[in-house]
Structure 1
Amino acid sequence: MESAIANHPSSVRIVDSADVSADALLGAGTSIWHLAQVREDARLGANCIIGRGAYVGTGVVMGDNCKVQNYALLYEPARLADGVFVGPAVVLTNDTYPRAINANGTIKTADDWEPVGVTIERGASIGARATCVAPVTIGPWATVAAGAVVVKDVPAYALVAGVPARQLGWVGEAGQPLIAGEKPGIWICPVTKERYMETETTLTKENA
C-alpha cells in the first residue's frame, strides 16, 4: 500500500485493507476505507469518502466532496460531479445488454462490448440499494429514492422512486421535498425558504 500512498497528498487516508491502484489520482483530504477498491486511472477530487467494500472502477471520475457509502459499485465509465452522494449498495451499471458469451458461444471479451456510463450531476443523491442502468444522467440536486431502478434520465431537482423509477415530486438543494407555493408552478423549500419555478418538466431556482 506504500506505493499508492506515496503518489497522493499527505492528507489522503488509505486504510491498510483497501486496494488502491498506484495509478489512481486522489484529491487532498480524500479517505478510502476498509476493503474498498479504487482501480487504475480513477480520478477522485478533494475530500471524497469511499466507504467500506465500495468499488470504484477503472477511469471513473469523481468531483470534490463526494460520498460513496459502503459496498456501492461504481462501474466505469461513471462520472460524478461535485457533492454527489451514493448510498450503501448502490450499483451504477455499464452494460446495457449484458451477456457472458457471444451468440456463437464464445466468451465475451473487452473487444466484444463497449462500456456505457452513468453520469451524476452536482449535488444529486442516490439512495441505498438503488440501481442506475447505464446510459442515464441524474440531474443536479435530484434524489433517487432507496431501492429505485433508474432506466431513463432524471431531471434536475426531481425526486424519483420505484421500479422502474418515476418522478414523485421535486426536492430542493437541502434535500427536502418542496412544497407548493402561492401560485401554480411555484415551489418552496421548507428548510431554506428558497423558491423554485416549474416550467413544463423543468425546475429552476429563482435568482440562480
Structure 2
Amino acid sequence: MAGAVIGAECNLGQNVFVAGSVRIGDRCKIQNNVSLYDGVILEDDVFCGPSAVFTNVKHPRSAVSRRGEYEVTRVGRGATLGANCTVVCGVTIGAHAFIGAGAVVTRDVPPYAMMAGVPARRIGWAGPHGERLVAAEEQPAVFVCPATGRRFVQIDEWTLNPLETES
C-alpha cells in the first residue's frame, strides 16, 4: 500500500490488496478478497463487493512484461460493484452505477446504469440509494427512486439525468 491514497472513513476487508498508485476516495467499502491494482481509481462512496476483480492489462502473458501498459480504471462516486464481478481495465464506471454480482464489465458504464450479465448489459437504472428506478406511469421517459421519490429523465439509451439536484 506504500504510495496509495486512501480517503477518510474507508473500510477494507480481509485479504484486500492495494497497489502503490491506487486512489481510494472517502467512505469507500472494499469487502474481502479484492485486489486494487495500479491504475484503479475509486471515487468517494464506492462499494466493492466480496471478491470483485479488477484487471490491469488487456492482453496478459506470463513471459511478457506489461508494467508500462497498465490502464486507468475509474469507478465513479457512489457506484456499487457486486460480489464476484469483473471490471476489465481501462473502463470508466459512472457515478451511482450498480454492477450486479458476477457481471463482467468490458466497456464504459454510464452514470446510474444497472448492469448485469456476461458481458454486462444495462438492465435498468439505479438511484443514488441503490434502488432500481421505476418508470413513471404518466411519463415513460421519467424514472422515480422508490426510496426517495427523486425523479430522473432518460435522454437516450445510455443517458439518465436527475430532474432535481440532490439536497
How far apart, CA to CA, are the structure 2 residues paired with 1:163 and 1:177? 20
How far apart, CA to CA, are the structure 1 residues paired with 2:135 and 2:129? 16
Aligned structure 1 segments of 4 or more residues deviating by more than 6 angstroms: none
The aligned residue for residue 131 of structure 2 is 176
Amino acid at match of 2:132: P
- Structure 1 SS opposite 2:140: coil
Query: Structure 1 stretches of 5 or more lacking a match?
Result: 1-38, 103-107
- TM-score, with structure 1 as normaliser: 0.76
Instruction: Evaluate the alpha carbon distance shift between residue 62 and residue 195 of structure 1 in structure 2; reply closer, same or farther with a 3 A threshold.
Output: same
Larger radius of gyration: 1
Q: Is the CA contact 1:58–1:77 (under 8 Å) kept in the aligned structure 2?
A: no
Considering only aligned residues, what root-mean-square deviation do their CA atoms show, in Å? 1.0
1:143 maps onto 2:105 in alignment: no
Instruction: Evaluate the alpha carbon distance shift between residue 109 and residue 164 of structure 1 in structure 2; reply closer, same or farther with a 3 A threshold.
Output: closer
Identity %: 42
Given the alignment, which residue of 107, 125, 149 partners 1:152? Answer: 107
Instruction: Report the number of matched residues.
Output: 163
Identify the structure with the greater strand proportion: 2
Q: Is the CA contact 2:76–2:92 (under 8 Å) kept in the aligned structure 1?
A: yes
How far apart, CA to CA, are the structure 2 residues paired with 1:193 and 1:109? 47
How far apart, CA to CA, are the structure 1 residues paired with 2:37 and 2:53? 8
How far apart, CA to CA, are the structure 1 residues paired with 2:66 and 2:42? 27
Amino acid at match of 1:204: N
How far apart, CA to CA, are the structure 2 residues paired with 1:109 and 1:65? 32
Amino acid at match of 2:87: C
Amino acid at match of 1:94: N
- TM-score, with structure 2 as normaliser: 0.94
